Amino acid sequence: MTLPVRAAVDGTAAGDLAPHEVPASVRSLNVASAVGPVLMRELEVKGLSLGSPVFMRAFKEERELEVWVEREGGFQLFRTYPIAAVSGWLGPKRWEGDLQAPEGFYRVMPSQMNPNSRFHLSFDIGYPNDFDRMKYCTGSALMVHGKKTSRGCFAMTDEKIEEIYVLADAALRNGQPFFQFHSFPFRMTDQNMERNRDSKWFDFWKNLKTGYDLFEAYQRPPKVFVESGRYGFDCHGS
């Protein structure tokens, strides 16, 4: 199991670290020691390794968060976790304090990991991204975290966030520069899209579906950029 080369057990805040440094705490180290060996065995059964690059997708309506792990040829689904709580309704986050969970394509850098979270462990998904800022959306500190309540975040319970956090932490420490976190209103199947055709967000969701479909086709998260007021995608990867 990959262990941190420097543990920020002195209270160093994530914001004080260089972007490539992964913060740690006594809590996160203890969790890694307890959860890591179990995860290693469970990953090995599926031909996967702790420390391999990860990719995550969240589905608000289904209240599910997927963790995918890279193996030769693409990413493989490791586990689907139930989301304990996600506030708001279907549709993107627009402004600070609307209690809405974001929808879109986000990057989690090492410095966004929070081993000292008051919600046990957490990471900032990176909202607002370039697309959100272009739309003048506001908000901050949108997290995937422990506990069972949410105010615009994704609450996973302490037990589930420990696994998710260790998987992400190990990947970042092993050299993954960031991982993608895609947040969708629902699974973007043709049937679900048709069911929501009358929503005011339908055009936005069609744009999200393009990125969703590329991952479904290639099992590798596409490179995401913003072009002409919409998300653009390169299927050759992130």
Please give the Cα distance from 174 to 185 (Å, whole number).
Answer: 31
Please give the Cα distance from 131 to 225 (Å, whole number).
Answer: 8
Average predicted confidence (pLDDT) for the chain: 91
What mean pLDDT do residues 171-199 have? 98
- Band of residue 99 on the pLDDT scale cut at 50, 70, 90: confident
Per-residue pLDDT at 9:
28
What mean pLDDT do residues 2-21 have? 42
Show the tokens assigned to 46. 């599926």
Per-residue pLDDT at 106:
98
CB distance 180 to 102 below 8 Å:
no
Active site members: 145, 153
Per-residue pLDDT at 97:
82
- What's phi and psi for 76, nearest 5 deg? -120, 140
Q: Which residue from 158, 102, 85, 114 is spatially nearest to 17, judged by alpha carbons?
A: 114
- Render pLDDT for 41-82 as a digit per residue (tens, 0 to 9): 999 999 999 999 999 999 999 999 999 999 988 999 999 999
What mean pLDDT do residues 12-19 have? 44
CA distances from 72 to 14, 157, 172, 208, 212 (A): 32, 31, 18, 26, 21
The residue ranges of every structural domain in the chain are 19-227
Place of tokens 């030769």: 72
Q: Which residue from 122, 111, 97 is spatially nearest to 28, judged by alpha carbons?
A: 122
- Render pLDDT for 107-144 as a digit per residue (tens, 0 to 9): 999 999 999 999 999 999 999 999 999 999 998 889 99
Please give the Cα distance from 14 to 22 (Å, whole number).
Answer: 8
Please give the Cα distance from 162 to 115 (Å, whole number).
Answer: 10
Length of the chain: 238
Encode 194-227 in three state secondary structure: HHCCCCCCHHHHHHHHHHHHHHHHHCCCCEEEEE
Per-residue pLDDT at 5:
34
CA distances from 235 to 139, 176, 222 (A): 29, 19, 5
DSSP assignment of 56-108, as one string? EEEETTTTEEEEEEEETTEEEEEEEEE-SEE-S-SS---STTS-PPP-EEEEE
Please give the Cα distance from 134 to 44 (Å, whole number).
Answer: 42
Options 2.40.160.50, 3.30.360.10, 3.40.50.300, 2.40.440.10; CATH for 19-227 is 2.40.440.10
Of 51 and 5, the structure prediction assigns the larger pLDDT to: 51
- Band of residue 3 on the pLDDT scale cut at 50, 70, 90: very low
Per-residue pLDDT at 10:
27
Flag whether pLDDT at 231 surpasses 90.
yes
Per-residue pLDDT at 140:
87
What mean pLDDT do residues 145-171 have? 96
Show the tokens assigned to 214. 């590329």
Flag whether pLDDT at 8 surpasses 90.
no
Per-residue pLDDT at 237:
61
% residues pLDDT > 70 (the chain): 91
Flag whether pLDDT at 206 surpasses 60.
yes
